[in-house]
Structure 1
Amino acid sequence: MGKKYKFLAFDFGASSGRAMLATFDGEKITLEEKHRFSNDPVNINGDLHWDVLRLFFEIKQGILKCANSGDRDIDCIGIDTWGVDYGLLDENDKLIGNPYHYRDTRTEGMYDEAFKLVPKEEIFKETGIAFNWFNT
């Protein structure tokens, strides 16, 4: 049997996250949960944000738990996150602040404002975006 490949995947869900170790032996993939954690938005002055510092801490915890359980030979690490939010970076690629959480209400009514400038059909044609209240 050849080399086993190990992949550590982090899944950041809307309210929880986990680190899963996938091992591929050339024929099959086995999965093992290494770490699970709460992923709660934080309220800062009435606005909901992702707690990116906490998420970074949880990534390090997942890696540490792999290492402490004998899985030090990780070949690859991947992160799957929410698909509707974004973080703003400065000219040095540094995160400017905690990204807004998709459940924050700051974008209420923005679709109507956008449609005044660009028709809904044109936005959909160019982006394929679903017009859900939580999409940023």
Structure 2
Amino acid sequence: MSEKKKYELEYLLKTSPKVLYNLVATPSGLSEWFADNVNVNKDNIYTFIWDGAEEEARLITKRNGECIKWIWMSDEEEGENTYFEFKIATDPMTKSTLFYVIDFAEEDEVEEATELWESQINELKRILGA
């Protein structure tokens, strides 16, 4: 298996950091734009459901209002040192809300993965009314 490449996407969103954080860090918020349904258990294992298919991810970092990071259980079992992360920041000059997606993909799949994130972020923007 080839090594996955880290990539980062940046989006300017017309919302408050608090509203955005609730949409990216809670199961109910994630269910609005990221997956059909999201559940979390007492061990901080999130189950993401898309069209009946389930993927589990373990929460590894959560800083209130700033970032949330998971590792896919399948990647963890394979010994992959990869994760996906959402970060929120405020541009000091414009006071706009910046949203970052950090993820990993095979070298030849980065473009396809980026397109998938673009689609997800468009849904997030729709939910935000932005």
**What's the TM-score bracket when you normalise by the shorter of the two chains?**
under 0.3
Larger RCO: 1 or 2 (CA < 8 Å, sep 6+) = 2
Looking at CA atoms only, which structure, 1 or 2, has the larger radius of gyration?
Answer: 1
Calculate the TM-score normalised by the size of structure 2: 0.25
Higher helix fraction (1 or 2): 2
TM-score by length of structure 1 reads 0.24
Q: More strand by proportion, 1 or 2? A: 2
